[in-house]
Amino acid sequence: MLRSPICEILGIEKPVFQGGMAWIADASLAAAVSEAGGLGIIAAMNANADWLREQIHELRTKTTKPFGVNVMLMSPFADEVARVVVEEKVPVVVTGAGNPTKYMKDWVAAGIKVIPVCASVGLARMVERAGACAVVAEGGESGGHVGEATTMALVPQVVDAVKIPVIAAGGIADGRGVAAAFMLGAQGVQVGTRFLVATECTVSEEYKERVLKAKDISTIVTGRSTGHAVRCLKTPFTNAFARRENEGAPVEELEQMGAGALRKAAKDGNYEEGSFMCGQIAGLVHERQSAAEIVNDLVDGAEQLLKGAAAWVA
């Protein structure tokens, strides 16, 4: 069995977190991952408090196991969502796209386990001091909003910098990635892209098909000039965005172009205008499976590899 202290800390059976994918990770996917023994995560994303409350209630009709809520710190609703997680006694809060320390005192006081996603050693150190119980070290192979460092470089540096458990994210979609993450010192993984094609994932069919067809070089990072670098599948939208960015378009114009594009991909399956966020590992994702099959394949694959690892040493 692949287990680590993070399983005890959170009361989960398998050290697999499902990425809090904005506009995508709802109660349906999160409940299925938690029920399979991992940590399912509802993405609060840009939705308001009422939507999040409904999703939490729906999840609780489907599973009694621990789950998390991802608070996207750039959301205009971050303050109200930060209150809902306390009122609803959410067991775990994962944060993304910013510095969560201003909320952490209240969350920790409410008994919430706080696990910020960090793209740098500096933020990981800061959130440890503020009471985080673990951090997700997310490399730039990930889909969505990304930092500069790769998973291979970032994870061991964060592991050395903090005493709390580190969960690796970015470029992990099978047992090989999970085993590699453990070898880098991680105690668990967060996986987004592979769960996009899970049966219980309610993202548009077009999105799933595009991920299944993706290859190793199918993604691109745009938006570095705006300070919000985002990795997505190369599409007519990203081509147009990258062209205007290279032409030196002002930040306001680029942000205007990006507004609503993820929703168009996730909900409407609009290939022309949508932003199909996904990680570089999409080229490895070929099969639709249930969330439980995905969780079990990640863990079983890693167990086999880690058991056999001694064969490399003469």
Q: Please, what is the minimum distance in Å from the beta carbon of residue 117 to ligand TUI?
A: 4
Instruction: By CB under 6 A, name the one of 147, 170, 188, 274 that touches ligand TUI.
Output: 147
- Nearest CA among 213, 216, 209, 193 for reference residue 294: 193
Residues 159-218 that bind ligand TUI (CB under 6 A): none
> Residue 258: CB partners within 8 Å, gap ≥ 6?
223, 226, 228, 230, 241, 275
96 binds ligand TUI (CB under 6 A): yes
296 binds ligand TUI (CB under 6 A): no
Please give the sequence-ordered ranges of beta strands (E in DSSP) within the chain, or none if there are none: 16-18, 40-43, 67-72, 92-96, 113-118, 135-138, 144-145, 166-169, 188-191, 219-222, 230-233
Total residues interacting with ligand TUI, rule: CB under 6 A: 19
Q: Please, what is the minimum distance in Å from the beta carbon of residue 102 to ligand TUI?
A: 11
14 binds ligand TUI (CB under 6 A): no
Instruction: By CB under 6 A, name the one of 16, 25, 69, 117 that touches ligand TUI.
Output: 117
Instruction: By CB under 6 A, name the one of 47, 173, 257, 262 that touches ligand TUI.
Output: 262
146 binds ligand TUI (CB under 6 A): yes
d(CA 81, CA 78): 5
Residues 24-83 that bind ligand TUI (CB under 6 A): 72, 74
Looking at the Cβ atoms of 12 and 127, the one nearer to ligand TUI is: 127
d(CA 291, CA 191): 11
10 binds ligand TUI (CB under 6 A): no
Looking at the Cβ atoms of 218 and 226, the one nearer to ligand TUI is: 226
Measure Cα distances from 89 to 27, 56, 244, 283 in Å. Answer: 16, 10, 44, 38
Looking at the Cβ atoms of 98 and 301, the one nearer to ligand TUI is: 98
d(CA 74, CA 72): 6
Q: Which stretch binds ligand TUI (CB under 6 A): 3-11, 50-58, 115-123, 154-162?
A: 115-123
Instruction: By CB under 6 A, name the one of 123, 168, 184, 214 that touches ligand TUI.
Output: 123
Q: Please, what is the minimum distance in Å from the beta carbon of residue 75 to ligand TUI?
A: 8
φ, ψ (nearest 5 deg) of residue 171: 85, 20
The pair of structure tokens assigned to 292 is: 């439980």
Measure Cα distances from 187 to 3, 7, 267 in Å. Answer: 8, 9, 33
22 binds ligand TUI (CB under 6 A): yes
**What would the DSSP string read from start to end of 193-253?**
GGGGGBTT--S-HHHHHHHHH--TT-EEEE-GGGT--EEEE--HHHHHHHHHHHTT--HHH
Q: Which stretch binds ligand TUI (CB under 6 A): 26-34, 97-105, 183-191, 213-221?
A: 97-105
Instruction: By CB under 6 A, name the one of 65, 113, 145, 210 that touches ligand TUI.
Output: 145
Question: Which of helix, strand or coil describes residue 161?
Answer: helix
98 binds ligand TUI (CB under 6 A): yes
Gap between the terminal Cα atoms of the chain:
26
- Which residues, in sequence order, are bridge partners of residue 40? 67
Query: Binding residues for ligand TUI, per CB under 6 A?
Result: 22, 72, 74, 96-99, 117, 119, 123, 138, 144-147, 228, 230, 262, 277
